Chains A and B, each alone.
Chain A
Amino acid sequence: MNKNPQPKATKPLLELKDMTMRFGGLKAVDALSFDVKEGEIVGLIGPNGAGKTTVFNCMTQFYDTYEGDIRFRDANDEMVSLKGVKVNDIIDYGIVRTFQNIELVPDLSVIDNLLIGAHKQFKTGLFQHILTTPKARKEEKHFRQKAEEVLEFMNIHHLKDALVAGQPYGVQKKIEIARTLMGDPKLIILDEPAAGLNDHETDELEKLFYELRDKYNVTILLIEHDMGFVMNICDRVCAINFGKFLAMGSPEEIQTNKAVQEAYLGEEY
């Protein structure tokens, strides 16, 4: 079995065009362009402070003052600009993210945390919930079912009623990924998914990503410092430094790229 099958489709899913983000006088991201194709696993790498998380924050419209354009393939199979879309509407396009510092609700059970990921998919409103109409109850049941399926898939079903607080780091990372799946994502954006995991957990994560792509049909874009992990798993890697594009290509190409080596190891290398 080929560990890294080539993506079937080659249509771009996400495109950055000359994206620049300034904080005061500082350019955190400078005229960055790259794309992510459907079904790919793409890694975004760069030394500390290269602006990787800022790129993610712009993609999810958390920062909305960037220049240039970010385009995404919508439900009608057309590329549309994400500019002006509200942060909380980004999930409607099928873009869901995780965070560098795990952002789960510690006082809620694992399954309730997953249900937060399905927030937008509920059709019933507040008053129906207050009156607990049959429709509201049915809907709640439906999404609980869905959450259980996702938990089953992630192999953490036995924890569904446990509080998130006190769960080991690796489990919390899994819960966060599970939560993204509740939003029916097309693109999952992961901010350092392997950070803080041990070797065994990292191997597990690797396998999980292939399963994710095959079963849930998602495209994955990730930031990661663990180069072994990135080179192993990614179809393509994009390297940036000081907010500027360095190179993009297959892991092998990136490993041998002069500019990337310089960025990581200094000029004299």
Chain B
Amino acid sequence: MTKTNKTNLPKELYEKFKANKPLHFLLFGIGLAIMLLAPYYDFIPGGRNTNGFVAPAIYFTVAALGLNLLLGYGGLISLATSAFIGVGALGMGYFMLFQEFSFFLSLGLTILISLGLGLLVGLFSLKVSGIYLTIGTLFFATILENIFRSVLPMSTTESFREITFFGNFVIDTSKSYTQLRTGEPQYDRYIALLIMVAVLVLSMIVIYNIIKSRTGRAFMAMSRSANAAAAMGVNIAKYRIIAFMTASLFATLAGVLYAIYGTSVEKNIWTLELSLFILAVVIVGGMRSIFGTFIGALVIFTVPNLYINEYLRTFSSFLENRFGINWQPVGFAPVFAGLLIIVVVLYYPRGLIKLFYDARILLLKLYGLIRNRLAKGGATDE
């Protein structure tokens, strides 16, 4: 009796831990935050500062989570993601730099604008569906892009010097962390990163709670067949609006994080190309997977810039020195993302997150095989 209890307790705890997904997200966030300390302690050989490459993956994951909800659960493609990220970044820039509002007031106003625009897209989606809706979101994006470009009274790039959250809590994002190794510790950017990680973890938990609730089930039912879902009592209008508003809110939050971390906001980069990159994150990482979205973001935003570009540059200088061929390794990131999208859609539709499951199954199989071998070997020995 006592024996069974003893052996069952860890298993029970493990089962409990396995079921508690929000705890996983929290632990993931803590792990990520610790890893982001690397540049301060020379963890990375060669003293490279990798945080600058990981940061885009973090804030774009937030946007991609919103798109994943919309696409993976709602079955709706939006091509307006980058425009909504732009709303976040430029909204913060406009309110803080031009209106000199406080951080939280600017944040509130930006979110309100984003929700309002999300509501508009949602209302539009009530009447228009399928391909017409997808193209409609493209028009929304184009209109917003036009407004950013020609209406906003800002120059192409505006820089934040520092962001005052409240009282003495000021982040001076112009201080670089690499200064640490020369002497004085500069944690400002790390704090910005911590804020980003916190928002990321919160976003993950929020998305998880939405998809595990009746809202998530309603999304799934709606994307499979709107008519059948309606017969089950799902108010299609309401859920489409919720889907679009959530997606635009998350994209806008990503823009806000971009503004906090990036020290500057630009007017001209919120184009279709960025929306496609975010779409690539969702598809490549794995539709309907929260961790998959982060993995997708790492693969799309971090890997090409951090590793592959480096090798290509080496290759390019090799070509130049050895053969005198002038070849610049440009345009690699989009080709990489585009090829990944196509390969994943064609051959691996559940995305890279499935690699982990497949790898686990493979390991288990190998383990079983080895064990069988050993058992057989033992038998013959006897």
Contact = CB atoms under 8 A, between A and B. Distances in A.
5 contacts: A116-B217, A119-B214, A119-B232, A126-B242, A129-B214
B233 A108 contact: no
B233 A92 contact: yes
Given A126-B242, A183-B232, A183-B233, 17 more contacts: A62-B227, A87-B231, A88-B234, A88-B236, A91-B233, A103-B224, A107-B288, A112-B217, A116-B234, A119-B214, A119-B217, A119-B232, A126-B210, A126-B215, A129-B213, A129-B214, A130-B213
Interface string B206-247: 100110011101101100110111111111100000100000
B231 A97 contact: yes
Interface residues of A, number: 35
A107 B215 contact: no
Contacts of A108: 217, 220
Nearest to A131: B209
A179 B234 CA distance: 14
A107 B225 CA distance: 13
Contacts of A87: 227, 230-231
A99 B228 contact: yes
A116 B221 contact: yes
Given A105-B220, A108-B220, A132-B209, A119 B231 contact: no
B137 to A, nearest CB: 22
Nearest to B214: A122
B232 A179 contact: yes
Contacts of B227: 62, 87, 103
Given A122-B214, A130-B210, A107 B231 contact: no
Interface in A81-123: 86-92, 96-97, 99, 103-108, 112, 115-120, 122
Contacts of A60: 231
Contacts of B214: 115-116, 118-119, 122, 129
Interface string A122-138: 10001001111000100
Interface string A63-97: 00000000000000000000000111111100011
A148 interface: no
Contacts of A118: 214
Interface string B147-173: 000000000000000000000000000
Interface string A182-209: 0100000000000000000000000000
Interface of B: 206, 209-210, 213-215, 217-218, 220-221, 224-225, 227-236, 242, 288
A91 B231 contact: yes
A62 to B, nearest CB: 6
Contacts of A96: 231-232
A140 interface: yes
A99 B221 CA distance: 14
Contact of B224 (A86, A105, A122, A179): A105
Interface in A134-161: 136, 140
Nearest to A99: B228
Contact of B233 (A62, A88, A99, A132): A88
A89, A105, A117, most chain B CB atoms within 10 A:
A105
A106 to B, nearest CB: 7
Pairs of residues from A and B, 3 with the lowest C-beta to C-beta distance, nearest first: A103-B228, A129-B213, A120-B233
A130 B227 CA distance: 26
Contacts of B217: 105, 108, 112, 115-116, 119
A96 B229 CA distance: 11
B215 A116 contact: no
A122 B214 CA distance: 8
Given A119-B214, A129-B210, A62 B229 contact: no
Contacts of A90: 231, 233
Contacts of B215: 126, 129
Nearest to A91: B233
Nearest to B220: A105
A112 B230 CA distance: 17
A255 B352 CA distance: 60
B210 A119 contact: no
Given A87-B230, A90-B231, A140 B236 contact: no
Which of A88, A115, A179: most chain B CB closer than 10 A? A88
Contacts of B206: 130
A21 to B, nearest CB: 16
A236 B2 CA distance: 62
Residue among A104, A106, A130, A179 with most chain B CB within 10 A: A130
A106 B75 CA distance: 14
Contacts of A112: 217, 220
A184 B158 CA distance: 59
A99 B227 CA distance: 10
B253 to A, nearest CB: 14
Contacts of B213: 126, 129-130, 136, 140
B19 to A, nearest CB: 12
B220 A107 contact: yes
B215 to A, nearest CB: 6
A104 B235 CA distance: 17
A267 to B, nearest CB: 37
Contacts of B231: 60, 62, 87-88, 90-91, 96-97, 99
A33 B319 CA distance: 84
A131 to B, nearest CB: 8
Nearest to B205: A130
A260 to B, nearest CB: 30
A119 B233 contact: yes
Given A105-B221, A108-B220, A116 B210 contact: no
